Amino acid sequence: MKVLVAMSGGVDSSVAAALMQREGHHVVGVTMRLWGGESDTGCCSVSDVDDARRVAQQLGIDHLVFNFTEDFQEKVVDPYVQSHATGVTPNPCIECNRSLKFSRLTERADALGFDAVVTGHHARLVRNAQGEMRVHRGGDAAKDQSYVVHMLTGRELERTLFPVGHMTKTEVRCVAAELGLRTATKPDSQDVCFISTTGGRETFLGHRIPFHAGRVVDTDGHEVGKVDAVELVTIGQRRGIGLYKTEAKRFVVDVDADSHTVIVGTEADLQRTGLALHDMVWAGGAPEAGRYRVQCSAHGKSLPCSVEVVDADRVQVTLDEPHRRIAPGQSAVLFDDTDSYVVAGGLVSAASAWPVSVGATA
């Protein structure tokens, strides 16, 4: 089989390439050049590209570089900036996986005659009794990445391989060490690739959108402070709103970008019993109401819930127990009620969360 391995310069993708080669496949590595600007974090730095190239040399496989910078700007960076301008908190890594690392890469692989696309994600692909492929939890619970690849469906699933998905991170590093790969001890990337450590989110956004000062009000509408930039505030935030050293802990419970208003409240005011999701992607079959578990961050715990289907694009999620409000724009992924495999995923809607008690801002 001829496989195209997405090599980010990290240990997981390095070992994924090595395992496919060990199985006797014709392996070609590829690194996607996504961000053309300053980068010293994430998976798009010059050193990452160099690490991927050198690992390919160590393995004796060809290494390609695909320039997807225009696609990345259009599909990931521009929406990220626009989301902040409208008071929404985006998840750019999810959008990068959706639009570039799988969709765009699979298109290119098809054009070049590859049989499959391979990545180093910690998730497993398992065929169910009906013969349909599903994304299952990875073998290492602490490194599981099924949440960030929840958007894979249909033909993409059939054309994708996750060779390290059944392994623990320790096992991956052991294989890399045995092979003498230069990435064996390389730390995992944690940050958004186009946000530099020197400038940060404030500098990045400040060069692209105007910031607006805003009022900070409590849940009764009384003004209690001000912020320099509403665009930099998100749900659940405590620092950066001028109230961190106050006697009572206050958190952001809502952001109204149109009126330049930030609403703060107590931990109790932040609690919600449900959320609405839109732009749903279903793993297969018709949308179905029922009992699921919902995960709202890459490394967050899944929560038991009931789901009501509004239509194929929208659902209402009711949690068994109250939970902190999830910021609009974040991805929420539905797993089956045993928390084993992905059923669907969508984006948290702006006016989606209903409070536990009267008085909390929705």
Contact (Cβ atoms closer than 8 angstroms) between residue 144 and residue 182:
no
Beta bridge partners of 324: 271
Residue 296 appears among annotated catalytic residues: no
Q: What is the rounded CA–CA span in Å between residue 140 and residue 107?
A: 30
Residue 193 appears among annotated catalytic residues: yes
Catalytic residue among 43, 193, 296, 305: 193
Look-up: residue for tokens 């696309």? 117
**Closest by alpha carbon to 15, among 186, 187, 188, 175?**
175
For residue 300, give both structure tokens. Answer: 């967050």
Catalytic residue among 93, 96, 296, 305: 96
> What is the C-alpha radius of gyration for the chain, rounded to an integer number of angstroms?
22
3-class state of residue 145 by DSSP: coil
Alpha helices in 31-77 (DSSP H): 46-59, 69-72
Contact (Cβ atoms closer than 8 angstroms) between residue 17 and residue 55:
yes
Distant-in-sequence, close-in-space partners of 358: CB < 8 Å, separation ≥ 6: none
Distant-in-sequence, close-in-space partners of 48: CB < 8 Å, separation ≥ 6: 8, 9, 10, 31, 189
Amino acid making up residue 140: D
Alpha helices in 38-124 (DSSP H): 46-59, 69-72, 78-85, 92-96, 105-111
What are the distances in angstroms from CA 117 to CA 34, 44, 112, 138, 347? Answer: 18, 19, 11, 18, 26
Q: What is the rounded CA–CA span in Å between residue 78 and residue 90?
A: 11
**Closest by alpha carbon to 211, among 243, 252, 240?**
240
Catalytic residues: 96, 193
